[in-house]
Amino acid sequence: MSEQQLTYENVLELIRENSRDIQKTNRELRKTRRLMKERDAEFDKIRQETSLQIKQTNKKIGDLGNRIGDIIEHMLGERIIEKFQALGYGVTHSVRRNCSFVNTKLGIEGEFDLTLVDSDIIILIEVKTSLETSDIRKHIEKIEEYRRHIVSVGFVQPPLTHLLPSTRFIGAVAGAVVDDEAMKFAHSHGLYTIVQSGEAVDIVPVPEGFKAREW
């Protein structure tokens, strides 16, 4: 069989076919690009919506945490005094969020969530919705800084006239949720641990050999 001769018409038809194939391919490419662009836009919209939902959820969780913290502080202030009295401490009243200090000379400052007060002892309490080991470390550092502040300014300067050189400071931590690790850490560093029990609060029984740390 003899090969078909290439004529002008044959070449023209091949060019037309090739052109149609190229046009078809270009249409498919444009369609693919359009779909990818639409999909990217859709993904971007989903990402933005998801990001907004996460921010809103985090805000709700934060607001809830603050509210729970306020409730816990209120419960502690109302009911924890007798708990410490049962342990032999002569505390008579509580102060909420009014025990703060600023010492520009030492470059330190801080605030305690709840303070139980008597003439010879002050119990400084940190309150968290969910108490973690890192919170306890920070609380210990804050108590140490507070003691340094008291020594720096003296015990007779206002508003510290109720303090004496013999005043003892001890620490306690409280939380609606306290895991075992945090509880053990607090006890090992001489801090009492307070937990929510139903509608009341309780001081967790201390382990054998526990001695409250004094500053």
Residue 184, domain member (yes or no): yes
- Kindly report, residue by residue over 38-77, the tens digit of the pLDDT: 887 777 777 777 777 777 766 665 655 555 556 566 666 6
CA 29 to chain CA centroid, Å, is 50
Question: According to DSSP H, which parts of 3-132 are helical?
Answer: 8-86
Question: Per the omega criterion (within 30 degrees of 0), is the bond before 158 cis?
Answer: no
Q: What is the extent of the structural domain holding 176?
A: 69-203
For the chain, the domain total comes to 1
Q: What is the mean pLDDT of residues 162-174?
A: 82
Instruction: Please check whether residue 211 is in contact with residue 190, taking contact to mean a CB–CB distance below 8 angstroms.
Output: yes
Instruction: Please check whether residue 185 is in contact with residue 158, taking contact to mean a CB–CB distance below 8 angstroms.
Output: no
- Kindly report, residue by residue over 27-49, the tens digit of the pLDDT: 788 888 888 888 877 777 777 77
Q: Does residue 190 come out as left (phi exceeding 0), alpha (psi in the -120 to 50 range) or beta?
A: left
**Structure tokens, 123:** 């119990």
Q: What is the pLDDT of residue 49?
A: 77
CATH at 112: 3.40.1350
